[in-house]
Structure 1
Amino acid sequence: MNREKLPVLLDNEIIEIRPDQSLLTERYTDFGINFINNLEKDQPFFFYLAHSMPHVPIFASENFKGKSKANVYGDVIEEIDFNVGRLVKTLKEKGVFNNTLIIYTSDNGPWLNFGSHAGSSGELRGGKFDVFEGGYRVPCVILGLM
């Protein structure tokens, strides 16, 4: 795919080309909130949300730019955290939080050669693309129904 196009898809249909990437985290979250709010009472559901941030290139919205001491990467993480909180709040308001399993994880370690646009693997060796622990050892938080 041509990376210059960066389309937003909905049901296999391109709905926008070259969106403002600083708004994608909020936009995807809004879609999730709308999905949850439109569920029928007691309707089982599966909702998978894979935010495009913090994959490079990364962008934080105006509300989060400069908010973190960890540069733009930290701003992006704070924005994701805030928006996950919005989803949790919606689940509670809808009355389905106590019957919902939330899994929050990452696919790989940080892309270290991107400087302030990358995270940290702490004391672990390596990052994305490495076979060292910093490349594949990632956090996983599971909430609910345990």
Structure 2
Amino acid sequence: MTVRRVIALTLVALSAGCATTVPGQAVPMGGNTAPGQEREIVSQYFTDLNDAAAEGSDTQRDFLRRTQHPDFTDRTCELGDLVLTIEPALSTLRVDPKWKPEKATSRPRGSVYVVGVSVRIRRDNATLAEQIGSQRVVVLDGRAYGFAPCPTR
């Protein structure tokens, strides 16, 4: 069957009413999405993280130290001269109520969110790697806290 014939048959089927529409309106999944104010706090966290990255590894290291979740300040990693740029896909931001850091005995205080991210790892303005994954951010007392990423070996 030629491409033209497939297109023609598809158009005929659609015009004959074979396409299905579902009445109603799309509604976000209740209870799993971040409230507007906390969504903004998480978004600002990534903006500040990337602004720190633009200033270099020392500034970003300081940012990661200051924003490490207060219950887990003993779990930081040394990034050396690496700089991370992290772009969140905020449309994927959702509550993650059961998550706790690896080997932790309890959850972090606050509202835990998970978001899909694209991470670019740089050294001396040269991109070493890019990857897609997820990252947890916790909103506690109106502030966003993270968990300093650790490079894998």
TM-score, structure 1 length as denominator?
0.27
Larger Rg: 2
* Larger fraction in helix: 1
Relative contact order (C-alpha < 8 Å, sep 6+): which is higher?
A: 2
TM-score, structure 2 length as denominator?
0.26
